């Protein structure tokens, strides 16, 4: 039995189980998800999707008009013919509503709230329902703010383990979630999650990675690094973590532990405030070295506030380099 992540174009991700002898389309249908298809014979191309990761067999039953050799070589698949040979990630060019599925909701309780610094809160929640929660490292969920009808989006900062997940949350003065976590929250309080969501997640590692984090944009990378520590990587990985002030630096011990566990992983942290006492000052772009960009044979992952995303994009363009892949996620704090 293999686990297949179906990523829909509206950002919803659903996980299904597929046996070795059933097609992905049939497995999805068995579990209540209708991937668009007409013929089931590999003739129409309606169920064409893109496999971002995993091993699979397409057989020989489809025709060229439905899926060309070039498309198959690029990673496109017909889900009515695709049989998984490992866990896979499949991008579906349709919304979850069209496929008659929706994001899942979970109930859990706060297991820990820690103020890592004046600007950052670590939140852990746990519950039996979360033992069924699956997500791709880097994705996020919408967390309900207790006592209100509102939600806030946060990236997982850890993998799910024994029904527990964690988040790094920026402490926004007057913020709805921040006010709850700093003034009211206690272990055992109930919280709701809806998701997982998002197209920012760790893909199969096929070349060196450059990871760029701004502030609490570090969260998805610690989840990614947990996964990489489990599976290993033959390619070098470098993380540059940038913050505004010294007190914004958090989780450095955790990053050091990852560096000890992952042979090809290194990291640096920098502080933008010129009055900082930290050894490395400035913005992340000032600490990107030519070897990190590897003449373009690199996958860049970036998570930070919009000005950072724009600055990094401009910097890479100015170097005259086009990365093999450039994945990014912008976030802004909500009051």
pLDDT of residue 59: 87
What are the tens digits of pLDDT across the range 102-121? 778 999 999 999 999 999 99
- Strand-pair category, 209-214 with 299-304: parallel
Distance in angstroms (rounded) separating the CA atoms of residues 286 and 10: 35
The model carries a pTM of 0.82
**Residues 237 and 212 sit within 8 Å (Cβ to Cβ):** no
Structure tokens at 122: 């670590």
Task: Kindly tell me the burial class for residue 326, based on how many C-beta atoms sit within 10 Å of its own C-beta (0-12, 13-18, 19 or more).
Answer: middle
pLDDT for residue 334: 57
Residue 262 in contact with residue 289, Cβ under 8 Å?
no
* pLDDT score, position 98: 75
Return the pLDDT at 202. 92
Q: What angle, rounded to 10 degrees, do the helices at 252-261 and 219-231 form?
A: 20
pLDDT number for residue 73: 92
Give the domains, in start order, of the chain with CATH numbers.
2-92 (3.10.20.30), 104-197 (2.40.30.10), 209-330 (3.40.50.80)
- Which pLDDT does position 43 carry in this prediction? 79
Residue ranges of the chain whose pLDDT lies below 50: none
Give the whole-angstrom CA distance, residue 2 versus residue 197: 21
For residue range 151-197, list pLDDT tens digits in order: 999 999 999 999 999 999 999 988 999 999 998 999 999 999 998 88
Strand order in the sheet with 299-304: 265-271, 237-243, 209-214, 299-304, 325-330
Token pair of 286, please? Answer: 């000032």
* Neighbouring C-beta atoms of residue 93, cutoff 10 Å: 11
> What pLDDT was estimated at residue 64?
85
Show Cβ contacts of residue 116 under 8 Å, excluding neighbours closer than 6 positions: 122, 168, 250, 251
């Amino acid at each position: 039995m293999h686990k297949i992540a179906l990523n829909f174009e509206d950002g919803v991700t659903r996980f299904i189980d597929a046996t070795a002898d059933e097609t992905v389309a049939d497995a999805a249908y068995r579990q209540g998800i209708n991937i668009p298809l007409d013929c089931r014979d590999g003739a129409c191309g309606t169920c064409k999707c893109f496999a971002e990761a995993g091993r699979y067999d397409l057989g020989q039953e489809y025709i060229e008009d439905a899926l060309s050799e070039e498309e198959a070589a690029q990673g496109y698949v017909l889900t009515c013919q695709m049989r998984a040979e490992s866990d896979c990630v499949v991008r579906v060019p349709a919304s979850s509503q069209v496929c008659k599925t929706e994001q899942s909701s979970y109930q859990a309780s706060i297991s820990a709230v820690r103020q890592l610094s004046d600007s950052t809160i670590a939140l852990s929640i746990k519950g039996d329902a979360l033992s069924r929660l699956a997500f791709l490292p880097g994705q996020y969920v919408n967390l309900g703010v207790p006592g209100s009808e509102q939600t806030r989006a946060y990236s997982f900062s850890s993998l799910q383990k024994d029904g527990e997940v964690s988040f790094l949350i920026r402490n926004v003065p007057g913020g709805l979630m921040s006010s709850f976590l700093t003034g009211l929250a206690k272990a055992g309080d109930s919280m709701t999650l809806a998701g997982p969501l998002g197209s920012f997640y760790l893909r199969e590692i096929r070349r060196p990675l450059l990871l760029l984090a701004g502030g609490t944009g570090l969260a998805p990378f610690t989840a990614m690094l947990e996964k990489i520590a489990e599976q290993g990587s033959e390619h070098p990985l470098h993380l540059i973590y940038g913050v505004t002030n010294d007190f914004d630096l958090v989780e450095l011990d955790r990053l050091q532990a990852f560096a000890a566990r992952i042979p090809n992983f290194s990291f640096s942290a920098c502080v933008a405030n010129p009055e900082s006492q930290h050894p490395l000052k400035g913005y992340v772009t000032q600490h990107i070295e030519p070897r990190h960009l590897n003449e373009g044979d690199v996958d860049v992952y970036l998570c930070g506030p919009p000005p950072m995303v724009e600055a990094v994009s401009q910097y890479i363009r100015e170097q005259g380099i086009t990365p093999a892949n450039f994945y990014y996620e912008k976030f802004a704090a909500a009051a």
